[in-house]
Amino acid sequence: MAGVAENGVADNIVHRMAIEDKVPWYRKKNLRYLYFMLFPCLMGIEMTSGFDSQVINAVQIVPAWNSYFGHPQGGLKGILASALPLGSCIGLPLIPYVNDGFGRRWCVMFGSVIMIIGSLIQGFSINAPMYIISRLIIGFGLPYAIVAGSSLIGELAYPKERAIMTSLFNAAYFIGAIVAAGITFGTQTIASDWSWRVPSLLQMSPSIFQVSLIFFLPESPRYLISQDRHEEALKILVKYHGEGDEASEFVKAEMAEIKTTMSIEMDFAKRSWLDMVNTAGNRRRLAIGALVGVMTQLSGNVVISYYTSDILAMVGYTDPAFQAKFNIGNQCSSGVFASIAALVVMRFRRRTMYLTSILSILVIYVAWTISAAEYLNANSQVAAKLCLFWIYAYQPCYNIGFNALTYTFLVEVFPYASRARGLAVYQFFGKAAQFFGTNVNPVGLDPVHGIGYKFLIVYCCWIAVEAFLIWWLWPETSNRTLEELTFLFEDEERAHRATAAVEKQIHHEDAGPRVSVKEEA
Q: For position 179, what pLDDT does the model report?
A: 87
Residue-wise pLDDT for 290-319, tens only, equals 999 999 999 988 888 777 888 898 889 988
Q: For position 482, what pLDDT does the model report?
A: 81
Phi, psi at 372, each rounded to 5°: -65, -40
Checking if the pLDDT of 274 tops 70, the result is: yes
Q: For position 324, what pLDDT does the model report?
A: 79
| Beta carbons within 8 Å of 65's beta carbon, 6+ residues apart | 59, 195, 196
For residues 397 and 60, which has the higher predicted lDDT (pLDDT)?
397
Q: Judge if 1-270 and 271-504 fold alike in CATH terms.
A: yes
CATH of 1-270, one of 3.20.20.210, 3.90.1310.10, 1.20.1250.20, 3.65.10.10: 1.20.1250.20
For the chain, report the end-to-end CA distance as a whole number of angstroms: 30
Average pLDDT of the residues in 476-504: 73
CATH class of the domain defined by 271-504: mainly alpha
Helices 173-187 and 194-202: crossing angle in degrees, nearest 10, is 160
* Phi-psi map region of 71: left, alpha, beta (phi>0 left; psi -120 to 50 alpha): left
Average pLDDT of the residues in 225-229: 91
Read off the DSSP letter of residue 449. Answer: T
CA atoms within 13 A on the CB side of 463: 27
Q: What rounded mean pLDDT belongs to the chain?
A: 85
Residue-wise pLDDT for 169-191, tens only, equals 988 888 888 888 788 878 878 88
The pTM of the whole model exceeds 0.75: yes
Q: For position 501, what pLDDT does the model report?
A: 62
Q: Where are the domains of the chain?
A: 1-270, 271-504
